[in-house]
Amino acid sequence: MNLPNKLTISRICLIPLFIILLSVPMDLGAWDIGGAKLPITHFIAAIIFIFASTTDWVDGYIARKYNLITNLGKFLDPLADKLLVSAALIMLVQMELAAAWIVIIIISREFAVTGLRLVAAGEGIVLAAGQMGKLKTATQMIAIILLLLHNFPFSFINFPLGTIMLYLALLFTVISGVDYFIKNKHVMRDSK
């Protein structure tokens, strides 16, 4: 197994630890951040999320640079991304830091686009991610990190950047999903 695939698998393996830190009651203390309390477990979970998100970029870079792209990697990499983001968003809903309806829309878009990619793959077509999809991913990651950190450091000035970024992520999620289906509508046409 090559290094990019090992990094992808490590990202998947970090998800249970991430979930445990956010869901199992552990009193490791908390920091006062602008009048709110940031549990140390949430801080550690945010660090794990940042590390796991970074491995996504690193494994892709290494795979492309050293021509280590494999079918296993093509399968595991997007799966790991979706598992990590979905787990984080669902945990944010449980922690009452994100609205469930936003998370449902974001995760639904991921299922829809994955379905379209599966249909395309069955036809031998590879659908590349567009710029809007990359913007969607970036805003999702920033929103998740800020919300996991209870909006630190913006909590000191009472500016809800985490929530704003979540709404931006929702907007880019919907726009990129619609754009993806419009640009790839040929995949859904029957050839008969």
pTM across the whole model:
0.90
Residue 114 neighbours by CB under 8 Å, 6+ apart: 78, 82
According to the model, what pLDDT value does residue 8 have?
Answer: 93
Comparing 58-67, 95-104, 163-172, the range with the smallest average pLDDT is 58-67
pLDDT digits (tens, 9 = 90+) for 90-148: 999 999 999 999 999 999 999 999 889 888 877 878 777 778 888 999 999 999 999 99
Q: Tell me the C-alpha to C-alpha distance, in Å, between residue 51 and each of 11, 57, 110, 157.
A: 8, 10, 22, 27
Residue 191 — very low, low, confident or very high, per pLDDT cuts 50/70/90? Answer: low
Closest CA to 87 of 154, 140, 25: 140
In the chain, which ranges are continuous DSSP H helix? 3-23, 40-65, 71-94, 100-122, 131-148, 161-183
What six digits make up the tokens of 116?
């379209």
The predicted model gives 62-69 an average pLDDT of 91
Q: What is the pLDDT of residue 188?
A: 80
Please state, as a whole number, how many other Cβ atoms lie within 10 Å of the Cβ of residue 186.
Answer: 10
Hey, what are 172's tokens? 């880019």
| Nearest of 186, 178, 67 to residue 125 by alpha carbon | 186
Cα 22 to Cα 149: distance, rounded to the nearest angstrom: 12
Name all domains of the chain by residue range, CATH numbers in brackets: 3-188 (1.20.120.1760)
**Average confidence (pLDDT) over 80-95:** 96
Region 162-189 average pLDDT: 93
The encoded tokens of residue 45 equal 């979970």
Give the model's pLDDT for residue 190.
67
